[in-house]
Structure 1
Amino acid sequence: MGKSTRRVAIVGAGMVGAGCAYSMINQSVCDEIMMIDRTYDRAVAQALDLSHCMDFTSTRTKVYAGTLEECGEMDVVILTAGANPKPGQTRLDVLEESKQITREIVERIMSGGFDGIFVVAANPVDIVTYLVREISGLPRSRVIGTGTSIDSSRLKTLLSEVFSIDPRSVQGYALGEHGDSQFVAWSHVTIGGKPLLHILAEHKERFKHVDLAEVERKTKDAGWEIFTRKGNTQFGIGNALAYIARSILNDEHKIIAVSAILEGEYGQRDLCIGVPAIIGKGGIQEVIELNLTEEEERKFKESCTIIRSGICKLAETV
């Protein structure tokens, strides 16, 4: 991280990987992007296509194709390559396939001397992030999953539509698994600094149409709605990855709901789950522990149980 040139490798040159690279180029997140894919020609094609953006951007980003073994000089490696669930499946249903893909990728990257930070988007992201940490042997601070960052963004967007405000004026988090057991910590959602629950209590007639359960359901199901309509999600998760990478490379100390390995926070250990954390040049600087309500704690524990079950299924072969 001490080098002046900020280098990022993106493993997986499909929709998510390309969306991430495009976001980083337009936001001037880094100086170099290396695209990697099991089909080398696709990585080359994506690199060429992305390099043709430079005449229209404020800064130049060098984009080129490479291999897993060439990641030794990278500051950040973003993992988007994984198994996609088929119709009717959940993210957990592709766990075994994702494990095989992740093991090969991480072992080859580490053999090249990589000593930077992994940012993981491959699903099921909480368990894959845990696997990356186990296989790589890196400190927990340097293995980060996208977790519920995209879900929290979807929550803010939905609330912005309900209350007719800019989504950036909403603060709050979806927590837990990036999957069916995620939940919204309503006790910590604020609009303009004022707790949402207070707003609803003070203006019952004005906001009687607001259904928090429906907002939570839409937050959880948003990814599947996109997936079933066009076969993939791309732009939202691509921007989330760029946002996390930017906070690392610029040492911004942004608080983001990422998939982090817990070491006693929230009373949990040895699992990876979506929680707010401070992200800077060393990766995860600190996990933020929210004071959850009794009901929110129950939901968090349920989500932990589901993730831990998935980890245990793979324990003998990790």
Structure 2
Amino acid sequence: MARTIGVIGIGHVGVTTSFNIVTKGLADTLVMIDTKPGWAEAERLDLQDSLGGLNTYTRIVANDYSLLRDADVVIFSGGDISVIKDGDRNSEIKTTKAAIDDAAPKLTAAGFHGVLIDISNPCDVAVTYWQEKLDLHRNQIIGTGTALDTYRMRRAVAEAMNVNVADVRGFNLGEHGESQFTAWSTVRVNNEPVKASPDFKEKDLAEAARLGGWQIFNAKHYTNFGIATIACEMALAVMSDAGRIFPCSSYDPQYGVSIGHPTMIGRAGVISNPPMHLTGDEVNQYAHSADTIKENLAKLHALD
């Protein structure tokens, strides 16, 4: 069966994601969709020019929702990052809601029944809203969530302790926003608890992980490589039925919202949510983050 991926919203993140899909040969067909006149077609042509130098071939199509009927994955990166103010991802609530309101009925009309992966901010609010808008099981709708925060934490720990980033394990959890936190009880370096290391400075490492994205954003006014890589890894986990665990945004029935926590991903989307075994303080931080998501979801609903 042909592998099809759709990318809705061809901004900095959407086009980087599309580039990764084509150059890594992740799909047989890539459908690129954007509301700006001529934009998706221009990026399609630019990407198509790369095909002659690749060992794989991808059919690339612009602005055809009908081809998403049998898509394995749709990656949503719509919205407008330029509206972010004072480092608050929730500044995008209005523009992201408008983008979802535009895309959701078109996906429904197309008969899309695959897995939707949201990148757009505020990610956890957007995922929860998507679950309200699409007639799909909520397990089919997930977001990149704190996977990127986790990557940033791992990079900070690896640099501070002079180890390979591949040998740092553990999770950042909660909202993909200011209330996210590193669950240090889950973090291991070279298979040893990070807290056992004499080089472990929790406050400094937590701050480095939390601010990692803003260091990039303040210079570039967007981030794209890390998040696009994660979106593609998640898409591949779906298409290959990998059963791989990501700290991504998925529904947590205890709190009634989607939030970043360990999630096993496969062909149907969410396969399961492994238990977290957090400390008491981490449980409180997670609950606070869930409350923050609920507050911002209420702000989105107030726009109706």
TM-score (norm 1): 0.91
Structural mapping, 1:16-165, within 5 Å = 16-84=13-81, 85-165=83-163
Whole-Å separation in 2 of the counterparts to 1:220 and 1:30:
33
Whole-Å separation in 2 of the counterparts to 1:13 and 1:152:
25
Identity across matched positions, percent: 27
Structural mapping, 1:1-318, within 5 Å = 4-84=1-81, 85-198=83-196, 200=197, 204=198, 207=199, 210-263=200-253, 268-315=254-301
| Residue 89 (structure 1) shift | 4.9
Whole-Å separation in 2 of the counterparts to 1:57 and 1:162:
37
| Residue 62 (structure 1) shift | 1.8
Whole-Å separation in 2 of the counterparts to 1:274 and 1:151:
10
For residue 38 of structure 2, give the secondary structure of its aligned residue in structure 1. Answer: helix
Contact 2:108–2:135 (CA under 8 A) maintained in structure 1: no
| Residue 53 (structure 1) shift | 2.0
Contact 2:31–2:67 (CA under 8 A) maintained in structure 1: no
Contact 2:94–2:303 (CA under 8 A) maintained in structure 1: no
Whole-Å separation in 2 of the counterparts to 1:317 and 1:125:
17
| Residue 180 (structure 1) shift | 0.2
The C-alpha deviation readout for 1:135-194, integer Å capped at 9, x for no partner, is 002111100100011111111111111122221111111100000000000001012222
| Residue 70 (structure 1) shift | 4.1
Whole-Å separation in 2 of the counterparts to 1:167 and 1:51:
34
| Residue 260 (structure 1) shift | 0.3
Whole-Å separation in 2 of the counterparts to 1:62 and 1:167:
35
Q: 31-40 vs 95-104, which deviates more?
A: 95-104
The C-alpha deviation readout for 1:54-94, integer Å capped at 9, x for no partner, is 23333222222123354222121110011323342511122
Contact 1:87–1:228 (CA under 8 A) maintained in structure 2: no
| Residue 40 (structure 1) shift | 3.9
Q: Which runs of 4+ in 1 moved over 3 A?
A: 67-70, 314-318
Instruction: Give the direction of change, closer, same or farther, for the CA distance of 1:111–1:219 in structure 2 (3 Å limit).
Output: same
Q: Which runs of 5+ in 2 are unaligned?
A: none
Cα RMSD, aligned residues only: 1.6
What residue identity is the alignment partner of 1:251? D
Instruction: Give the direction of change, closer, same or farther, for the CA distance of 1:197–1:89 in structure 2 (3 Å limit).
Output: closer
Whole-Å separation in 1 of the counterparts to 2:241 and 2:179:
31
What residue identity is the alignment partner of 1:22? F
For residue 73 of structure 1, give the secondary structure of its aligned residue in structure 2. Answer: coil
Instruction: Give the direction of change, closer, same or farther, for the CA distance of 1:282–1:105 in structure 2 (3 Å limit).
Output: same
